[in-house]
Amino acid sequence: MKTKGEKGQLGAKMLIPLGAYNGEHVNVRLDDGDTQPIAERTLPEVAPRAAPGKLWKFKSKSGLTQVQLKNLDPKQPGMFQLVVQSKKWFTAAAANETAANTRLTVTIGSQCFMHPATKKTD
């Protein structure tokens, strides 16, 4: 996370045990100890890209700028790589807690995946 200069940047890349993606809604939420949520956006679905069943991607110029799901089957069956990026999505004042107290939550359909922030630049 980068908050300095009102950058509102977030970058996350993680492996999630999703099994399959079938066009479910995707909710991306950022919280800390005193602001819940710092930022949040729900996408009705993430559009398929490239070969069917392999890659889905949402892109925008500001705010939540990217959500990407990549099916890792057959290399890692049942696992997906999730990438989330943002630019000018939140203010420094809203995200004033430490990295240890900040968490990213991504909900895909009814499945919820949480990850604590590991690095934060104020």
Task: Give the phi and the psi of residue 115 in degrees, each rounded to 5.
Answer: -145, 130
The answer to whether position 121 is within a domain reads no
The answer to whether position 122 is within a domain reads no
Each residue's pLDDT tens digit, 21-47: 999 999 999 999 888 999 999 999 999
* pLDDT of 50 strictly over 80: no
The answer to whether position 97 is within a domain reads yes
Mean pLDDT, to the nearest integer, of 79-105? Answer: 92
The answer to whether position 85 is within a domain reads yes
pTM for the predicted model, two decimal places: 0.93
The answer to whether 75 touches 106, Cβ cutoff 8 Å, is: no
The domain total for the chain is: 1
The answer to whether position 34 is within a domain reads yes
Percent of the chain at pLDDT exceeding 70 = 100
The answer to whether position 80 is within a domain reads yes
Q: Containing domain of residue 10, as a range?
A: 4-116
